[in-house]
Amino acid sequence: MAVHLFTSNSKIVMRKGLSRFYVAVLLVLASVTTVDVAVGKVMDWMLPQISNQGDTGKTYYSLNDVRTPIVIVGSSRAAHHYVTQMIEDSLGMPAYNVARDGCFFSYNCCVVNSILDRYTPNVIIWENGTEYLFDGFDDPLENLYPYYERNLWVTSAIREELPWAEYARLNSRIYQYNSIMHRVLMRYRGRNLFVDETEKDYLPLQPKNLKKVLELKQVEQKYTELSKTKVERFYAVLSRAKNKGVKVVVVDSPMYSLCDVNNKSAVEMRKICKMYGALFLNNSQLPEFVKHQEYFNDAIHMNHLGAKIYTDMFLEQVGSYLN
Amino acid sequence: MTFQSLEYLIFLLVVFLLYWTVCCRSKTLQNGLVLVSSLVFYGWWDWNFLGLLFFTAISTFFAGWWLGKTNNQRKRKILLVGTIVMNIGILFFYKYFNFFVQAFVDAFSLFGTKMSVSTLKILLPVGISFYTFTALSYSIDVYQRKVEPTKDMLSYMAYVMFFPSILSGPISRAQKQLPQYFGLRKFDYNIAVNACKFILLGGMIKLCLADRLGIYVDTIYANIAQHNGTTLLFTSILYSIQIYADFAGYSLLAIGSGKLLGIKLPTNFIRPYFAKTVTDFWRRWHISLTTWFRDYIYFPLGGNRCSKARWMLNTMIVFTVSGLWHGAAYTFIIWGAMHGTCMVVERIIYGDKIKNISAKFSVANFLRLMVTFSFVNFAWIFFRVNNLDDVMIIFKKIFTEPGKPFFDTNTFLMGFVAMVIVFTYDFIKEKQLNIHLLSSHFMVVRYATAIMLIVYILAFGVFNGGSFIYFQF
């Protein structure tokens, strides 16, 4: 009898403890959710106010605000290689370089699609590495997290490309601003001091004395298979551009390394461009640049000297297509 | 499925709910659930090695059972040696085979004999060093009659395969941890809350500090030749912090997960960078491994109850083996030997006073702390690099190539805040200051701290930082 009483008493204690524990956990979760929503709202309010300021603002600008007839999209190579002012002067239309460091194919698909949703530019210059369509090629989407479930293209890219755990985490508004919250806050604080760049977001790299002389090396082909999702996305974007009458130049700018210009991804890219009337230029191995180490700051980035010469040459290449 | 992943969080939640609802009335059910969930957890990593894990658990179980049955000392000894050789043999094959083959070839090439021996492509089963040691501790303890051999196979399997500790410890010891599986675990609110605090802290340390610094450290170590000595020195300090945060964070997550299921795992870290001597450092760093080596290698070798020369040799053996345990590379062996040498030197300098260094703050103690950290930091370079050539480059650059350090403001800003939080917490604990945030008497403070930590993790944690450094061992 005593044993039985003791057992049921301990069971009651255990049940009470469990209930108390569940309540505590729920209380913490509810509080975190409240804070999460509140912080998210503050961030959502701040973000448009730093449009086009710094890297974080540049993404906002490219997805929501850019309206120039000529837009240059791409990664750091586009940001450093296309002198916006030269393009603007040559083509006689306002241009803007919305390219951002570390942002590759999927990111730029979202940018191009968002631009096409908003207005009809005359020309889109899309710097696209010829290996971008390979499956497994590093294609980070972190910079688009604040737009998850706010931008259709971003949401679908994230769901297609990332594992479920990542987009499950993206249900947290704070997580959408992971690692950039302080940047948003700092930019917001200094927003009144911000002076618009005259370079239209072309980011010149000043030539520097390199510690180690650049070596012309053969780049190893790491990937073999094309990504079906990326190929389909590329078809879809160029088809939309064609339907809207937007001229698209898909281009891979020079690099100081040797690679296979006819790799599977490059061939596919060329084929898709041809199908939708886009101009495809594979400039990665141009002898005029591969011979000139002084045009480069590293194997994949040209300095201002190289960028000026390259932009000039690029404008000649696209002249007939754009006219 | 790593501890910091969402998959693990869901997995733990499911196990927790089943454990305290469906299985709470029977210890057999509880152990059964632990075993099944451990198999799922381990199989998630690589189900190919489940057989190996089973073999280790079953072989040591039956060895213990047999050791308990016979009183013939010779038979017992043969049985124990057989069990050790078999299990260490498996560990040796998977972890060290290629290393020793290569060392053999290198040794011959020194004498001008060129040999062409092909090595095998062997995949290292994750956690093998940890679960082998956990299992062996049982056989040795039974042999030494410190532990009664168990007939409860389910409990024993649950003990060896317990998922929170199977991948990287803390290495459980049969004497202390095994009896917990023999009885019914009862839910205790305070223990569960405490477990959540461990998990929260561990998650913060791993995601916000270790993985944040890891971004910088990995970038520099991937390209040593491109960076100057100041950057490399700075990186070595950051690596010291990273490895501590990584492993201590992991241990807190493991201990917290264990506590949630009513199983207490051994403490693994006690603020190691507050150590004032290297000897003190090893009382605070990876305690479960250090005590394993102490009890099963150092003491049987004679410990310090022997001549000074023999004691020195014992220390060197233990630390060299400890280095080798970490990895099959010369760099790890040197790392272990360096620590062994330093302990011998300390013992010569301090004598028996080494045990009685005051914990109070003084200039002398501060200097001791700095010297210890510098030595440990210096030794971590061997631990981190890929080969001895890299060590040479790093040391050469540190002493001959000063310059402006490579600085990544973003990483530093976020890493620095986490560093301040972690080391302030450690300082409070070390000095036993009466400041409690997560355990405050005031409910508001407790809850607010927990919420702030979760928000901080969401805002600044690195969720794609990969797995834990110690998983490779």
pLDDT digits (tens, 9 = 90+) for B286-311: 999 999 999 999 998 888 788 888 88
CA atoms within 13 A on the CB side of A137: 25
- Out of A21, A31, A35, name the one closest to residue B193 (CB): A21
Range of the domain at B23: 6-186
Q: Which amino acid is at B92?
A: F
Do B140 and B241 share a domain, yes or no? Answer: no
Instruction: Please name the residues in contact with A173: beta carbons below 8 A apart, sequence gap of 6 or more.
Output: A36, A37, A39, A40, A41, A43, A44
Chain B residues in contact with A172 by the CB 8 A cut-off are 458
Same domain membership, residue B78 and residue B213: no
Q: Does B24 touch chain A (CB under 8 A)?
A: yes
CB atoms under 10 Å from CB of B380, counted, come to 19
Can you give the pLDDT at residue A1?
A: 47
Asked whether residue B272 falls in the same domain as residue B173, the answer is no
Neighbouring C-beta atoms of residue B308, cutoff 10 Å: 11
Helix or strand (DSSP H, E) at B100? helix B97-110
Residues B116 and B178 in one domain: yes
Domain-embedded: residue B307: no
Angle between helix axes B50-69 and B73-91 (nearest 10 degrees) is 170
Interface contact B226-A39, CB threshold 8 A: no
Mean pLDDT along residues A200-205: 83
Strand partners, A218: A258
Q: With 80 as the cut, is the pLDDT of residue A134 above it?
A: yes
The answer on B249 and B138 residing in a single domain is no
- How confident is the prediction for chain B on average, in pLDDT? 88
> Averaged over B371-390, what is the pLDDT?
90
Q: Is residue B473 part of a domain?
A: no
Structural domains in chain A (count): 1
Picking from B160, B186, B212, the residue at the C-terminal end of a domain is B186
CA nearest B449 in A: which residue? A28
Q: Average pLDDT in the A91-113 region?
A: 92
Tell me, yes or no, whether B33 and B174 share the same domain.
yes
Cβ within 8 Å of residue B37, ≥6 positions away: B11, B15, B163
Together in a domain, B219 and B92? no
Q: Which of B170, B186, B202 is the last residue of a domain?
A: B186
* Distance (Å) from the alpha carbon of A141 to chain B's nearest alpha carbon: 12
DSSP B356: G
**Chain A closest CA to B342's CA: distance in Å?**
38
Q: How far apart are CA A239 and CA B463, in angstroms?
A: 36
Burial readout A273-307 (b: 16 or more C-beta within 10 A, e: otherwise): beebebbbbbbbbbeebbebeebbbeebbbbbbbb
B16 and B199 in contact (C-beta within 8 Å)? no
Active site residues of B: 326
Give the number of other Cβ atoms within 10 Å of residue A224's Cβ. Answer: 11
**By CA distance, what is A36's nearest residue in B?**
B455
CB contact under 8 A, B5 and A14: no
pTM equals 0.86
Q: In whole angstroms, what is the distance from residue B422 CA to residue B426 CA? A: 6
Ranking A36-50, A254-268, B119-133, B145-159 by mean pLDDT, the lowest is: B119-133
For residue A29, the chain B residue with the least C-alpha distance is B451
Average pLDDT rounded to a whole number, residues B162-175? 89
Taking 90 as the threshold, does the pLDDT of residue A54 lie above it? Answer: no
- For residue B402, the model assigns a pLDDT of 84
- Both B372 and B431 in one domain: the answer is yes
- Give pLDDT tens digits for B415-463: 888 889 888 888 888 888 877 888 888 889 999 999 999 999 999 998 8
Which secondary-structure segment (H or E) carries A79?
helix A76-81
Q: Which residues pair with A70 in a beta bridge?
A: A95, A123
DSSP H or E run through B101:
helix B97-110
CB-CB under 8 Å, A32 with B462: no
CB contact under 8 A, B189 and A183: no
User: B121 and B250 in one domain?
Assistant: no
Q: Decide if B260 is inside a domain.
A: yes
* CA nearest neighbour of A99 among A121, A118, A81: A81
Structure tokens at B117: 């021996």
Q: Which helix (H) or strand (E) holds B372?
A: helix B363-384
Residue with tokens 């959540």: B196
Note whether B97 and B238 are same-domain residues: no
Minimum Cα–Cα distance from A39: chain B residue = B455
Contact A28 B454 (CB under 8 A): yes
Is residue B291, in this structure, part of any structural domain at all? no
Report how many domains make up chain B.
Answer: 2
Q: Best residue in A15, A21, A141 to probe B by mutation, most B CBs within 10 Å?
A: A21
Nearest to residue B61, comparing CAs of B138, B129, B147, B126? B138
And the tokens for B180?
A: 């917990």
- The pairing of strands A123-127 and A70-73 is parallel
Query: Would you place residue A7 in the very low, low, confident or very high pLDDT band (cuts 50, 70, 90)?
Result: low
Interface of A with B (CB under 8 A): 10, 14, 17-18, 20-21, 24-25, 27-28, 31-32, 35-36, 39, 165-166, 168-169, 172, 174-175, 177-179, 181-183, 211-212
Report which DSSP code applies to B207.
Answer: I
CATH number where A159 lies: 3.40.50.1110
Dump pLDDT digits (tens) for B44-97. 888 888 988 999 999 999 999 999 888 888 899 999 999 999 989 988 888 887
Count other Cβ atoms within 10 Å, centred on residue A155.
Answer: 17
Residue B335, Ramachandran bin (φ over 0: left; ψ between -120 and 50: alpha; else beta): alpha
Task: Quote the pLDDT of residue A262.
Answer: 86
Confidence category of residue A179, pLDDT binned at 50, 70, 90: confident
Read off the DSSP letter of residue A162. Answer: S
pLDDT reading at B12 higher than 50: yes
Residues in Cβ contact with B191 at an 8 Å cutoff, skipping those fewer than 6 apart: B259, B262
Q: With 50 as the cut, is the pLDDT of residue B241 above it?
A: yes
- In this model, does residue B414 exceed pLDDT 60? yes
Q: Is residue B107 part of a domain?
A: yes
| C-beta separation of B379 from B282 below 8 A | no
Please tell me whether residue B428 adopts helix, strand or coil conformation.
Answer: helix
Shared domain for B165 and B210, answered yes or no, is no
Provide the domain limits for residue A302: 2-322
How much is the pLDDT for B467? Answer: 65
Q: Give dist(CA B76, CA B57) in Å, integer.
A: 19
Q: Which range among A137-146, A253-262, B226-235, B369-378 has the greatest average pLDDT?
A: B369-378
Q: CB A178 to CB B460 under 8 A? A: yes
The answer to whether B93 touches B323, Cβ cutoff 8 Å, is no
Q: Give a yes or no: residue B23 inside a domain.
A: yes
pLDDT, average across residues B195-209: 92
Q: Are residues B228 and B123 in the same domain?
A: no
Give the whole-angstrom CA distance, residue B91 versus residue B326: 12
Short-list B280, B283, B347, CA closest to B309: B347
Confidence of residue B269 (pLDDT cuts 50, 70, 90): very high
Q: What is the pLDDT of residue B126?
A: 81
CB pair distance less than 8 Å for A178 and B463: yes
Residue type, B70: T
* Residues A266-282, mean pLDDT to the nearest whole number: 92
Last residue of a domain, one of B186, B214, B244: B186
